[in-house]
Amino acid sequence: MFEKPFYNFLYSLFVVIVTGAFCSYFNNEAMSGFYPQIKVSEFTPPDIYFSIVWGILYILLVLAFDLILNSDKKQLVRPAATTFILNMFLQVLWCYVFFYNAQFLAGFTVLVILDVITLMMIFMFYKINKLAGLMLIPYFLWLLFASFLNWAVVDLNGIVFIM
C-alpha cells in the first residue's frame, strides 16, 4: 500500500484504533444505560475480560493487517485490505446496532455477516501470509462466541428495542 513499511504499520494502527474507539464508545453507552438491566447468558464473562481480550485481539489485528500491507503479493493485497476495512466497519456497525440502539436481532444479523466476512478474510490473509491468516483465528473464535452471546440476549429478552 504505502512505500515505507512504517507507514503501513501506522495505517494499520490507525484503522484498528479508530474501530476500537467507536466500539468502546457504543459499548460504554450501553453499560451506563440498558445493558445491566437485560438478561444475558450464564456464559457471559465478567466485563473486565472483554477489555483484556479485545486488547489482545486488536494487537493481533494490527500486526496481521501490517503483514498484509507489507507483502510482495501486491495483486492480492488490495482485495484483502478492502475486506479488512469492511470487517472493521461491520464491527463498528454491530456495536452501534447492538449496544447503542439495543436492537438485538439486527445486531445478531450484522454479527453473522461479520463472522462470514472474517472467515473470508482469514483465507485471503493466509494466501498472502500464513502467519497473518493464523493471527486472525482468535479474533474469529471470539466473534463466534460473541454471536452465541448475542443470540442468547435475543433468546432471553425477545426482540426488544429498549430505546
Q: Model confidence over 9-40: pLDDT tens digits?
A: 999 999 999 999 999 999 999 999 999 999 99
| Residue 45 pLDDT > 60 | yes
Per-residue H/E/C for the chain: CCCCHHHHHHHHHHHHHHHHHHHHHHHHHHHCCCHHHCCCCCCCCCHHHHHHHHHHHHHHHHHHHHHHHCCCCHHHHHHHHHHHHHHHHHHHHHHHHHHHCCEHHHHHHHHHHHHHHHHHHHHHHHHHCHHHHHHCHHHHHHHHHHHHHHHHHHHHHCCCECC
Alpha-carbon distance of 65 to 54, in angstroms, equals 16
Structure confidence by residue, pLDDT tens digits, 86-138: 999 999 999 999 999 999 999 999 999 999 999 999 999 999 999 999 999 99
Within a domain: residue 48? yes
pLDDT over threshold 70, residue 160:
no
Q: What is the pLDDT of residue 2?
A: 75
What pLDDT is attached to residue 130? Answer: 98
pLDDT of the residue at 161: 56
> Structure pTM?
0.93
Residue found under cell 475486506:
83
In a domain, 162, yes or no: no
90: in domain: yes
What's the whole-number mean pLDDT along residues 30-53? 94
161, β-bridge pairs: 103
The reply to whether 108 falls in a domain is yes
The mean pLDDT value for 48-71 works out to 97
The parent domain of residue 94 ranges over: 5-34+43-157
Residue 158 pLDDT: 81
Domain count along the chain: 1
CATH of the domain at 21: 1.20.1260
C-alpha grid cell for residue 69? Answer: 500491507
- Residue 159 φ then ψ, to 5°: -85, 90
Query: Is residue 52, in this structure, part of any structural domain at all?
Result: yes
Q: Which residues contact 91 (CB under 8 A, 6 or more apart)?
A: 19, 23, 114
Residue 14 domain-assigned (yes or no): yes
Is 56 a member of any domain?
A: yes
Contact 73, 128 (CB under 8 A): yes
In a domain, 112, yes or no: yes
